[in-house]
Structure 1
Amino acid sequence: MLVLSRQRDESIFIGDNIKITIVDIRGDKVRLGIEAPTEVPVHRQEVYEAIQRENQRTVEPVAKS
């Protein structure tokens, strides 16, 4: 894992087309602004995991009784 330090209004680029900016820092919470192409899905981890679970359920074959 790459760990970087940034201050408010500073950014990090991932490749040429994804920009992550530190928007605000309050206590133990950091607000991020993310600029990415519309074809790149961006989700919070818990939403991403829920999508993966739902996708797995739709792929698994139905057990026969």
Structure 2
Amino acid sequence: MRLTEFWERMNRHLGSAYARTWAETQVLSELGGRTVAEALDQGESAKTVWRAVWAHQQLPPSER
């Protein structure tokens, strides 16, 4: 997954005004206690981060 697709999905599910704020403030245990932004900045793949967001948000299987 490309980073652009990741942010498109985030914007679709959280809204473009809130997605980046959520990514910078929400700590996910699925990411080792890091925020989405921290995980991406530290080189975690967009696909891995999306799966963590998907699980945390309890999105439908079709969005995985």
Give the TM-score of the pair, scaled to structure 1. 0.25
Give the TM-score of the pair, scaled to structure 2. 0.25
Higher helix share: 2
Structure ranking higher on relative contact order (CA contacts 8 Å, 6+ apart): 2
Higher strand share: 1
